[in-house]
Amino acid sequence: MTLFVGLSAFPITPMTPAGEVIAPDLRRLVERLEAGGADSVGLLGSTGTYMFLSRDERRRAVATAVGAVTSTPVIAGVGAMRTDEAQTFARDAAGEGAAGLLLAPVSYTPLTEEEVFQHFLAVASATDLPLCIYSNPGTTNFTFRSSFVARLAAIPTIAAIKLPLPASRDVAADLADFRRAAPGLSIGYSGDWGCKDAMLAGADCWYSVAGGLFPQQAADLTAAAMRGDHEEAERCDAVFAELWKLFRKVGSLRLMYAAANMLELTDAQLPKPLLGLEQGLRERLVSALPV
């Protein structure tokens, strides 16, 4: 079992307009990830629209994903507005067979570092599962400084961090900063268009949105970058070039739902109030798919 290393592929969570998980569709997506060579399944991340799901549906999603794989570990997102709810989601995920947890400091009111620390301490203590810090300042309004991550890393079950691409665009320097602060943590990145460079710089994991639909292509890129093969990594990354342009233009969530529909993997639509892609972007997406 490989956890927080290599390619962690994040699928959408197909659901009905009433917020009920469409289990056969989710199972199909997760089976595709294992067959494509993903090292782990990143379930119920932002791409998995976890904040739109009830407790029962989150638990059902974890059970479905765990039941769909034979050896690929499932990392389950457990973010919630309240600490006690996040603890409950963590225990539910553990009970359904998740191998690890992913936690973002979700809050309507921006949190202080002490509030985030106490939140992570409580959730990490709710189970024995290894936990990955989910740094997503664009949605949580909280930025994890490397010195603060060093403090969190002292919590026994915290094992990894999922970082966004740095604003400086110098991912090698950013990685080195976090390595110095928390040398025991697995350090990985999201922001698919920059993850080739992150993996070539020595990051441990690529937390990939595109990998949630195109695992084979993403696994090839990950493997090339992890063995330091710059030429092959560039070739594999070029397959995604047009998709990366769209990701940077409009974000990835709406694109992944539209792509899943185009590939006939599910008919599920985005949960309201989110709306689908406008026609012009749909037409661009057709030619951008790495298939």
Q: pLDDT, tens digit, for every residue of 133-144?
A: 999 999 999 999
Q: Which of 50, 134, 207, 257 is catalytic?
A: 134
Assigned token pair, 132: 């990955």
Please say if 207 is a catalytic residue: no
User: Which H/E stretch holds residue 148?
Assistant: helix 146-152
Neighbours of 82 (CB within 10 A): 11
Does the global pTM surpass 0.85? yes
Q: Which of 50, 108, 162, 245 is catalytic?
A: 162
pLDDT band at 236 (very low <50, low <70, confident <90, very high): very high
**Cα distance between residue 188 and residue 4, in whole Å:** 8
Assigned token pair, 260: 């899943």
Assigned token pair, 137: 């300042």
Annotated binding site for pyruvate: 47
Checking 271-278 for CB contacts under 8 A at 24+ apart, the result is 271/15, 271/17, 271/19, 271/49, 271/52, 272/17, 277/250
pLDDT value of position 1: 45
Please say if 134 is a catalytic residue: yes
CA dihedral (142, 149, 226, 128) in degrees, to 10, reads -100
Reply yes or no on whether the pLDDT at 284 is more than 80. Answer: yes
Let me know: does 107 contact 137? Beta carbons within 8 Å. no
Tell me the Ramachandran region of residue 251: left when phi exceeds 0, alpha when psi lies from -120 to 50, beta otherwise.
left
pLDDT tens digit sequence for 99-149: 999 999 999 999 999 999 999 999 999 999 999 999 999 999 999 999 999
Query: What structural domains and CATH numbers belong to the chain?
Result: 6-229 (3.20.20.70)
Let me know: does 177 contact 146? Beta carbons within 8 Å. yes
pLDDT value of position 2: 66
Bridge partner list, 205: 6, 188
Let me know: does 58 contact 92? Beta carbons within 8 Å. yes
